[in-house]
Amino acid sequence: MVTRRVENLIKNGATKYQPVENMKAKSLSDVYDIFDPQEALSGEKLKEYYVKRESPIDRHANALRSSKRPLKYLFVGSRGNGKSTELNRLSELLGDDLLIVPFSIRDKLNLYDIEYSDILLIIAAEIHKKVSENVELSKELSGYLDNWSEKVIENVERLGLSGEVKAGFSAIFLNITGKMKTEATTREITRKVIQPRLSDLIDAVNKIIIEAEEKLDKNILVIIDDLDKVNLEKGEELFYVHGAELTSPICKIIYTIPQPLLFSNKIRQIVNQYFDGHINLGNITIYDRHGEPDPEDCDLMKNVALKRMDESLISEDALNLAVGYSAGVMTEFIRIIRSAGNIANTDDRGQVKLSDVKQSIADIKNDYIRILGPDDIKILKDVTKMKGKIDGDKFQDLLFSLAIFEYSNDEVWYDIHPAIKGIIERAEAGKE
């Protein structure tokens, strides 16, 4: 979507979009684009909009910078709580010290049909692409890679992709990986070819890593975002069954994973065996476990909004309500402001009022009403009272769907989405 700012530049004859110092929304018509819950902050927007929060990124950046070992980390947190933005910030912090290879798995693969070999193939493709942009590989290694690619071509042609794959290591990745997201046949054939030869692929990738790190005098860090969006069953399969394969490239790697997987004893075993630990990005504690507001964190969330929009565009009580119902999760807060701004703009008002935020919250509540069943209501009611974890897969599912959130003030505790509390109260009232 083209923003009004870009449209104005085009009308004025600008040939290239130049970032401006002040990127704040000046009217409600600007709010929809600027408050995009799907967009992680990067580049100029990271500098302009980012609000400093408690984050483990700085501490782990130091470890990744100083250690010569090929560290492997799992990055966890509620979906939408700002992990992608923090990973972008990590890339900027380490850009001078490491060769960063960042990508979103969602941009490369189909999250509803994904296998461990697909991930390793994409890692190989992204490492080769990034390395080739920074250093020329030796003739010996290039020859080795091309010989490997010829064998792959022979087999994919035999299985039905004849005429679609060109020769050469980089050409294979350009042709095959570019189609894996959208073409089921390509995924199926590629897996049949790659999985029996996975050790050869890993060997090829590791040869690239060794030569590149030596020539650049830098370690390589691969950052794989959006794997936290795969379903829990697939996430457990990827990291429990294939943890050894996913940690086999001899470079530093960070994987995002679904937060509820940390409740699995299997995953705990894998973390201890194959990974150097997990990096946890906590939610912002708008309220403590006793329901008392945290003024510092409330101000943090307000600043997130006011860095993106003029203060005159939203009333104080509307902003306070949006903060209170955000659950301390960035995308929830951004979504509320965007929705409320759109409601106010549609009604031709110049400011977001309390009623606009209430309508936005009602829409969120209705979404939950549609998906929550009696068993869910019981668990949510127990979490509300206990502020603790409930055993069973249902709890993990509700955590994954953002009906439940994890917080930590020295000690981990849980609460439900503020928009759901009215549903629980109504259910309780119906029993009386």
**Interior CA angle at 80 toward 77 and 82, to 5°?**
75
The count of residues in the chain is: 432
- pLDDT value at position 163? 53
Asked if the model's pLDDT at residue 164 lies above 90, the reply is no
Q: Is 273 exposed, middle or buried (0-12, 13-18, 19+ CB in 10 A)?
A: exposed
- Cα–Cα distance measured from residue 239 to residue 237, given in angstroms and rounded to the nearest whole number: 6
User: 64 by DSSP, 3-state: which?
Assistant: helix
User: How many Cα atoms sit within 13 Å of 199 on the Cβ side?
Assistant: 1
More reliable by pLDDT, 171 or 128: 128
The mean per-residue pLDDT over the stretch 150-158 comes to 80
Helix (H) or strand (E) holding 209: helix 198-216
pLDDT band at 148 (very low <50, low <70, confident <90, very high): confident
- Cα–Cα distance measured from residue 124 to residue 356, given in angstroms and rounded to the nearest whole number: 48
Topology given in CATH for the domain delimited by 285-422: Helicase, Ruva Protein; domain 3 (1.10.8)
- pLDDT value at position 11? 39
Query: Could you give the angle at which helices 374-386 and 393-400 cross, rounded to 10 degrees?
Result: 90
* 11-25, 168-182, 291-305: the lowest-pLDDT one: 11-25
The string of pLDDT tens digits covering residues 371-389 is 999 999 999 999 999 999 9
The mean per-residue pLDDT over the stretch 159-169 comes to 62
- pLDDT value at position 169? 73
Torsion of CA 199, 205, 211, 216, to 10 degrees: -150
| Region class of 133: left (phi > 0), else alpha (psi between -120 and 50), else beta | alpha
Asked if the model's pLDDT at residue 166 lies above 70, the reply is no
The CATH code that applies to domain 57-280 is 3.40.50.300
Q: SS3 for 324-352, per residue?
A: HCCCCCHHHHHHHHHHHHHHHHHCCCCCE
The string of pLDDT tens digits covering residues 209-242 is 999 999 999 999 999 999 999 999 999 999 999 9
- pLDDT value at position 15? 36
pLDDT band at 432 (very low <50, low <70, confident <90, very high): very low
- pLDDT value at position 255? 97
Q: Which residues have a Cβ under 8 Å from the Cβ of 313 and sit 6 or more positions away?
A: 25, 27, 28, 31, 341, 350, 351, 352
Name the DSSP class of 177.
I
Domain ranges for the chain:
57-280, 285-422
- pLDDT value at position 395? 93
